[in-house]
Structure 1
Amino acid sequence: MADELPYIDEHVVRVDAPRDRVWAALQRYTAALLRSGERNPLLVLLGPQPRAGFAVAESIEQRRISLVGRHRFSRYRLVFELTDAPGGGTLVHARSYAAFPGIHGRAYRALVIGTRLHVVATNYMLRAIRAGTPALPPG
């Protein structure tokens, strides 16, 4: 489905932990994101489907979680992918895809992408996933 939507960007964070721990943190973050979105008053204005703003479209154990959604001004997909980092640890990739149809979609794109608000939000997500990953004990 990502092929159906134009590519927006990719952001990556390195987590100094094995993939299984990062995967667990990613799952916890995703579950919290889906729950918290239902209480976000901004989402009422946007009219998202699903109501939380995202739904899990694909989950491949310790590899990838794809989230999809749509609202009045956009259709979107956010793909979190885990890969091994050179020298140890795990890289968490966040790839975004979205379409912004019509004049209102173009205005929304300018607001979210043009102001780099999307970059700030995506990097916030990645840092939250990293912060939620338990570190390995020393030694």
Structure 2
Amino acid sequence: MDTAELLALPFVDAHTSVVAAEPDAVWRAVGETVARRFGERRTAVAARLLGCADRAVAGPRPLAEGSTVPGFHVVTAVPGRELALAGSHRFSAYALIFRLEEAGAGRTRVRAETWAAFPGPAGRLYRLLVIGTRGHTVIVRSLLTAIRNRAETPRADRATGR
């Protein structure tokens, strides 16, 4: 899926968090969180079961355009501004876009937008199971919380476990 196809997907929802950190720190936190969360074994298993087009990590840099994590490939990576991930499987074509903007001195607003199409009866059922149960909302909010925590915790504290 390229940028034009991504923009053609229907809007699903958006969630926002304000992080007490500069955009560069939040950008690093987005990359680390995406790599960690989507690099988990259970995500790889789910990607395989759903028949995702992108099933494995390709390369060490998940924020580089064209790189992949299970279930997604990077369509756009503009440091400190935007990370657009897209993917597809047998029930859906989808995108998750993280947009960063300054929100005052030392603060950054992170907006996670979901765009997706759910074609056919199986797609409608999948949408009901994922979106209708609010499971998707829980996952996206969890991602935003992890990004905020990672960006607001000094790197030295993360290294020592404090």
Matches of 2:48 and 2:31 in 1, distance apart? 25
TM-aligned CA deviation for residue 108 of structure 1: 0.2
Q: Give the corresponding residue for 2:67.
A: none
Closer, same or farther in 2 for the Cα pair 1:37/1:81, shift >3 Å?
farther
What is the percent sequence identity of the aligned residues? Answer: 40
Counterpart in the other structure of 1:122 = 140
Select 2:77's aligned residue among 56, 59, 63.
Answer: 59
- Give the corresponding residue for 2:61: none
Contact (CA 8 Å) 1:54, 1:68: kept in 2 or not? yes
Change (3 A) 1:75 1:13: same
Match of 1:8 in 2: 12
Structure 1 residue ranges (4+ consecutive) displaced by more than 2 angstroms after TM superposition:
30-44
Query: Which residue, 4, 8, 24 being the options, matches 1:20?
Result: 24
Runs (5+) with no aligned partner, structure 1: none
TM (norm. structure 2) is 0.77
CA shift at 1:39, angstroms? 5.4
SS in 2 for 1:133: helix
Alpha-carbon distance in structure 2 between the residues aligned to 1:35 and 1:116: 23
Identify which of structures 1 and 2 has the higher relative contact order when contacts are C-alpha pairs closer than 8 Å and 6+ apart: 1
Alignment of 1:78 with 2:78, yes or no, is no
TM-score by length of 1: 0.89
Listed one character per residue, the Cα deviations across residues 28-49 of structure 1 (whole Å, up to 9, x for unaligned) are 1122244226753222221111
Say whether residues 1:50 and 2:54 are aligned partners.
yes
Conservation of the 8 A alpha-carbon contact between 2:81 and 2:99 = yes
Indicate the larger mover: 107-116 or 34-43: 34-43
For 2:87, which of 69, 72, 96 is the aligned residue? 69
Q: 1:120 to 1:34 in 2, by over 3 A?
A: closer
Amino acid at match of 1:46: L
Does 1:109 find its partner at 2:113? no
By how many angstroms is 1:25 displaced?
Answer: 0.8
Secondary structure of the 2:151 match is: coil
Instruction: Tell me by how many angstroms 1:15 deviates.
Output: 0.4
CA offset digits 1:65-124 (Å, max 9, x no partner): 000100110000000010111454001100000000010000000111111111111101
For structure 2, the 5+ residue unaligned runs are 56-69, 155-162
